[in-house]
Amino acid sequence: MPNRTPPCAVGPSRTALSGRPWELAKIIKSDKEPHKDYLVIDVRDDDHIGGHILGSYHLSSVRFQDSVQGLVQKTKDIPIVIFHCALSQARGPKAARIYSETRDNLQIAGKDQPHDVCILRGGFTEFQAKFRNDPKLVEAFDASIQEAGYTQCFLYFTTHEDDILAEPRSSIFNAYTDTG
């Protein structure tokens, strides 16, 4: 059987445009081992509460830039790395780009293997819409938090404006003002 590139990837050491949720579900349910054969990195911030992809590694986008070197060192032997945020429109793609560029530097130095960096199309929002009832794919899902979504958070922030203005760079505020 020929060695096939995973469907969410475009080739070694390149950031994919997107990966479909069902493709990731297929990888998770295969005989591949998470954190060895593939790794899903969730870069959502405080919006991580309410559920996540089973076996994913959570690294907040707020901390990502400072942690990318260590992350690359820890994952240099993992051939498939899949990034996502809530919608995979901003935080997930940005983290994937930074990670891919950093990991490419290792490959140039001969300290890394060929790898694929993917971005989950639609982010956790689309993934949970399709698979939230499958405990082999999604864990800690709380529909009340997911359904409340950004509207609920916006209402909270507009009614607690003084608290927000006292610490405008809090990760909670940044998480819910970011669209990705």
| Residue pLDDT, tens place only, 24-64 | 999 999 999 999 999 999 999 988 888 999 999 999 999 99
Q: Which residues pair with 38 in a beta bridge?
A: 34, 80
Residue with tokens 């994919």: 16
Tokens describing residue 26: 């297929």
| Res. 89: pLDDT tops 60 | yes
Tokens describing residue 86: 């809530």
**pLDDT at residue 21, rounded to an integer:** 93
Give the residue numbers annotated as catalytic, written as ranges: 85
Give the CA diameter of the chain.
62
Neighbours of 111 (CB within 10 A): 12
∠ CA 138-58-83 to the nearest 5 degrees? 80
Q: Do residues 145 and 48 make contact, with C-beta atoms less than 8 angstroms apart?
A: no
Q: Do residues 132 and 143 make contact, with C-beta atoms less than 8 angstroms apart?
A: yes
Q: Do residues 172 and 46 make contact, with C-beta atoms less than 8 angstroms apart?
A: yes
Neighbours of 18 (CB within 10 A): 16
Q: What is the mean pLDDT of the chain?
A: 77
Domain 21-177 belongs to what topology? Oxidized Rhodanese; domain 1 (3.40.250)
| Res. 96: pLDDT tops 70 | yes
**pLDDT at residue 177, rounded to an integer:** 35
Q: Do residues 49 and 145 make contact, with C-beta atoms less than 8 angstroms apart?
A: yes
